[in-house]
Amino acid sequence: MPDPLQYNNNLDKLSYEEKILFEETKKSIADFVEHSSVVSDVNYATRNAHAKTYAVLKGELIINQKIRPDLLHFFDKEKYNIIVRLSNAHLKIRKNKKDIPAYGFAIKIKDDADRTIANFPLVNFPLFPINSVSKFLKLFTAINHFFIKKWGNLYSLFSNIYKILPDILTLSFLKKGIELLLKKDNFMMSFDYHSVGAYRLGEHMIKIKLSPKNPQKKFGEHLTMKKAIESFCFEKNYDADVLIQFCYDLKDQPINILNREWKNSPFIKIGEVHIKKNSLIDAKACDNELLSFNPFESAEIFQPVGKIQKLRDEAYKVSLQTRKKINKLLKYK
């Protein structure tokens, strides 16, 4: 293989128009969070995405003993403590209804002093449907307004959905969409999980994949997903390989074209996630509900890369600040 490409901050830069649109989106995020307790009919302010928490877990990231020597200096310990949040991607907490099969597996890696080294929010769908930052911001703003205003914002919502159809109606995206539909009833912890975009690994750029070692696709199929996860975590250990791909060529491994999978870049195992049974933490505790998995709250060598990724920093901060303000006033427990 050739040497991996080096990180270049030009890959992250937003245009003036994109920055202006982002300001409007951030306001819509704060507005949504302020109304989220009504939207989801709960007694606290929720996240602006992945609102529903299935479980919060303690575990370990165990570094591969056969890891390539040139990667060893990124991981100077044999294992690290991690916190995991399992979630559903919907903006609204849907009660007594079957959840859409769009799941999140967010990992927070800690050092011995309990400081965050890296946050990696992973999802069970390897592609992102929108490459244009402007289209994404306009759509996300319209979605936020729709949940607050309902029918008063229907035209804007549908017009922005129409504009992203060319990104969705691609062969690779449709293929992955069909694969997900065929797995829609599978147990959440049996899925592979992927980084939405790229991340730095030192001066290079990678994508991340989490692949369970013994996926139990039909576990708890007669239970709600939350109950199935709780049952699984009480009864069984969870083990998954942590794999990365390097970016060698922007043609084959594009950073800002997110609706296409990387090719010609082999997966490299860097370690395993291990979660022992009975490792559930109280997800409703205020400190756990306010957990942030902002990938920019990571060491510089693990920072996100790309224009869509760049949006996540301030979006996460706006959502968290608004939730903190409201939930602390409500004394959420």
User: Is the confidence at residue 333, as pLDDT, over 70?
Assistant: no
Mean pLDDT in residue range 175-182: 94
Q: Is 184 exposed, middle or buried (0-12, 13-18, 19+ CB in 10 A)?
A: exposed
Round the average pLDDT of the chain to a whole number and report it.
92
So what's the pLDDT on residue 122? 98
How many Cβ atoms from other residues are within 10 Å of residue 245's Cβ?
22
Local structure of residue 152 (DSSP, 8 states) = G
Taking a C-beta distance cutoff of 8 angstroms, is the pair 81, 103 a contact? no
So what's the pLDDT on residue 332? 46
So what's the pLDDT on residue 96? 74
| The residue type at 72 | L
Helices 133-149 and 307-330, interaxial angle, to 10°? 30
Tokens 């729709």 belong to: 146
So what's the pLDDT on residue 109? 97
Phi-psi group of 124: left, alpha or beta (phi > 0 → left; psi -120 to 50 → alpha; rest → beta): alpha
- Confidence grade of residue 331 (pLDDT, cut at 50, 70, 90): low
Nearest to 239 by CA among 54, 62, 53: 62
Mean pLDDT in residue range 222-237: 94
On the CB side of 77, CA atoms within 13 Å amount to 11
Mean pLDDT in residue range 204-232: 95
Domain 9-330 has CATH 3.40.50.1860: no
Q: Is 148 exposed, middle or buried (0-12, 13-18, 19+ CB in 10 A)?
A: middle
Taking a C-beta distance cutoff of 8 angstroms, is the pair 160, 142 a contact? yes
Mean pLDDT in residue range 3-9: 94
CA–CA dist 162, 164 (Å, integer): 6
Taking a C-beta distance cutoff of 8 angstroms, is the pair 133, 167 a contact? no
This prediction has a pTM of 0.94
Q: pLDDT tens across 30-76, in order?
A: 999 999 999 999 988 999 999 999 999 999 999 999 998 889 889 88
Express as a percent the part of the chain with pLDDT over 70.
96
Taking a C-beta distance cutoff of 8 angstroms, is the pair 54, 84 a contact? no
CA–CA dist 224, 97 (Å, integer): 9
Nearest to 21 by CA among 122, 101, 108, 135: 135
Q: pLDDT tens across 264-279, in order?
A: 999 999 999 999 999 9
Q: pLDDT tens across 13-33, in order?
A: 999 999 999 999 999 999 999
DSSP string covering 48-92, please? SSS-EEEEEEEEEEEEPTT--GGGGGG--SSEEEEEEEEEE--SS
Taking a C-beta distance cutoff of 8 angstroms, is the pair 61, 80 a contact? yes
Q: How many residues does the chain have?
A: 333
Nearest to 240 by CA among 210, 217, 209: 210
CA–CA dist 190, 169 (Å, integer): 27
Tokens 């989490």 belong to: 210
So what's the pLDDT on residue 154? 85
Point out which residues pair with 205 in neighbouring strands.
Answer: 200
Express as a percent the part of the chain with pLDDT over 90.
81
Tokens 């995206």 belong to: 173
Query: Which one of 11-20, 152-161, 278-287 scores highest in mean pLDDT?
Result: 11-20
- Confidence grade of residue 330 (pLDDT, cut at 50, 70, 90): low
So what's the pLDDT on residue 317? 93
